Amino acid sequence: MPAHNSLQSVDLSSRDARSALPLRAKPYWHIHSPRTHLGYYKGSRGAVWYGRLFIGDGKYKQTKLGPSKDEGAGGLTFDLAVESLLKWADGQQGGEPGRGDRHATERSADGDTRRARRAGQLQPTRLDAISQAWAHERPDVDFWLPGFFLRIEYAHYLHDRRVQEVAKQAGTTVGDLHVLLALRRNGADSAMRPTDLYRELLVTSGAITKRLDSLREQKLIQRAAAAGDRRSELVKLTKRGLAIADTAMTRIAQSLEQIVKASGVRREELRQMDECFRRLIAAM
């Protein structure tokens, strides 16, 4: 059984990606799931697909799946190599003694991964590599839940990048845009205190002061006197600030609609996810 080696996942899904790989004496490994890896050996005499299955303690079972179709007719394409890998892995897991319920659960997980790939052509990601690394280093810990929340964190990161692009198109920063959106959802003609803004946006008073100064310079907000108390500062949107906030919110909503449409996730599924997230947040 080969010892554990590099956890870096190499893209083997396209012929162009495989052609760009230099020749070497050991396979390149593509992490299909935390436990199943697809290998591609590229030597001077041809290319061959391999598979390996993580069995714990930094060890794998490994097998030769067959020649690559890149070398001519009769070989395995990437998709056929994946199918061959999963079929072999299912047989290996089913034949191991003493693993019982644990392997039944893992076989189910691998089956779910296979069905998801066939349905949506899902590809392993950097987060799968992180899960696999923890499975190797701490096999006593179930990393599924931390991995789940890591995906939520990564989704937020990707969403924030899209919002940054919207802010850039508007000629402002993402921090300033968050202030404009907070003012807009409070009402087109309403005013807010800086204290309310930094509490709502979860930033410091110093940060909100800096953002308000920037927005005033851009003529996107203006001062508004508080009724009955001229000493209390209020800020509100200018007409230009209002237009930027509305345009940005439209672009953000349209971007999210496109993402959901491309994913194939139904509205009812999103409602169920939303309810689950509400319950999780309430327990935090």
Q: Where in the chain is the domain with CATH 1.10.10.10?
A: 156-283
Separation of alpha carbons 111 and 150, rounded Å: 22
Separation of alpha carbons 120 and 197, rounded Å: 41
Q: Is the dihedral of CA 173, 175, 178, 182 positive or negative?
A: negative
Q: Which amino acid is at 118?
A: R
Q: What 3-state DSSP class applies to 107?
A: helix
pLDDT in tens, the chain (284 residues): 343 444 578 888 888 888 889 998 889 988 877 778 899 999 888 899 999 988 776 678 899 999 998 766 678 888 888 888 888 888 876 544 334 344 444 444 454 444 444 434 455 567 777 877 777 788 777 778 888 888 888 889 889 999 999 999 889 999 999 999 999 999 988 899 999 999 999 999 899 999 999 999 999 999 887 665 555 689 999 999 999 999 999 999 999 999 999 888 999 999 999 999 999 999 99
CATH number of 156-283: 1.10.10.10
Give the closest residue to 51 by CA, choosing from 19, 95, 87, 77.
87
Phi/psi for 125 (5° steps) reads -125, 180
CA torsion, ordered 266, 267, 273, 277, to nearest 10 deg: 150
